[in-house]
Amino acid sequence: MFLYVYAKPDVMQGHRFSDDVAITFAWSKKHAYRKFSWLYKLEMKNIKRISIFRLFGKHGVDVLTDY
């Protein structure tokens, strides 16, 4: 299993923090897409696999958004 992240900027208009980010464990990007699609109308390009070796870097914190 791998960790996948769905991230999209400016989803929640009118809120102080408007970006939306969700994570899930899945066997593939297609499997992650099916899991995220219960909550979001999304595009495959907004789903990225996160390397478990990168997660929680040397300071114990990881930023999941890339913008």
Q: Is the pLDDT of residue 56 over 80?
A: no
Q: Is the pLDDT of residue 62 over 70?
A: no
- What are the distances in angstroms from CA 52 to CA 15, 17, 39, 42? 31, 27, 24, 24
Domain assignment present for 23: yes
Q: Is the Cβ–Cβ distance between 21 and 51 less than 8 Å?
A: no
Amino acid identity of 7? A
The per-residue pLDDT of the chain, averaged, comes to 77
What mean pLDDT comes out for the span 1-6?
Answer: 87
Structural domain tally of the chain?
1
- Domain limits for position 21: 2-50
Give, for 22, the enclosing helix (H) or strand (E): strand 20-26
